[in-house]
Each structure stands twice: as structure tokens, then as C-alpha cells.
Structure 1
């Protein structure tokens, strides 16, 4: 049994997927601040870049949710 599994009573794959989901959603929130800052500065190139990053985060979060949902007992 690994440390994470021992501490949380969650299987590693569940813990890992949950962790990726959590951190991805946090990053998407942080990137929104970057978008707002770049927008306020009139930096459209940075806004576009950060929106691309945010979309990638959104896709990653959705994939993590699907994977986690398919592995949790019902």
C-alpha cells in the first residue's frame, strides 16, 4: 500500500486522477486571472495564448472526470 492510499483509503489511480482534476481546475482559475491581466494591458496575443491554455485545461479536466467516473464503484 502506498502512502497516498494508506492516508486516504483511496486507490492510487483514484487519488491520482482526483489530484490531476483538482490541479487542472485550479490552473484554469489562475489562467483566468492571467487573461484578465493581459486583457487590461491590451495584449491580445497573450490573451489568445492564455485562452488556448485554458481550453487545454478544460479538456484535461473533462477527460479526468470521465476516467475517474468510469473507475469509481457505483
Structure 2
């Protein structure tokens, strides 16, 4: 495996990066849900909830891959 400038192999770095961004986005989407609800747009709030759920699943899958790589 190639090792990037971080000292970690590229795949591990990539998984950590995707996991971080998925979790960060999930946090931000919570505000988007509230904004849509405050605007009376439950359809858009539901959309943001769906996107948040997808990012949560993505972060969880990264976590599982990282566990495999470190065991």
C-alpha cells in the first residue's frame, strides 16, 4: 500500500476523510432540517433527513472498513 504524506496508507486516510466529512455534514444537516421546518417545508425537511441518514450510513461503513484494516 502506498503511504501518503500523513504517514498513513492512502486507503486509511481516504476512509477517515470520508467518515469525517459524512459526520460533519450530518451535523450541518440538522440545522437544515430545522430551517426547512421553520419555513413550513416538511417535504424539504424530510429530504434533509434522508440525506442525513445516507451520510450516517456512509460514516458507519467507513468505520467498519477501518476496523477491518486495523485488526
User: Is TM more than 0.5 here?
Assistant: yes
Question: Is 2:26 the counterpart of 1:28?
Answer: yes
Structure 2 regions of 5+ residues with no counterpart? none
Distance in structure 1 (CA, Å) of the matches to 2:59 and 2:13 = 14
Counterpart in the other structure of 2:45: 47
TM-score, normalization by structure 2: 0.91
Write out per-residue CA displacement over residues 25-49 of structure 1, whole angstroms, 9 at most, x where no aligned residue.
1111111110010011111000110
Number of aligned positions between the proteins: 70
Counterpart in the other structure of 1:37: 35
TM-score, normalization by structure 1: 0.88
Distance in structure 1 (CA, Å) of the matches to 2:68 and 2:28 = 28
RMSD over equivalenced CA pairs, Å: 1.2
1:8: Cα distance to partner?
A: 1.1
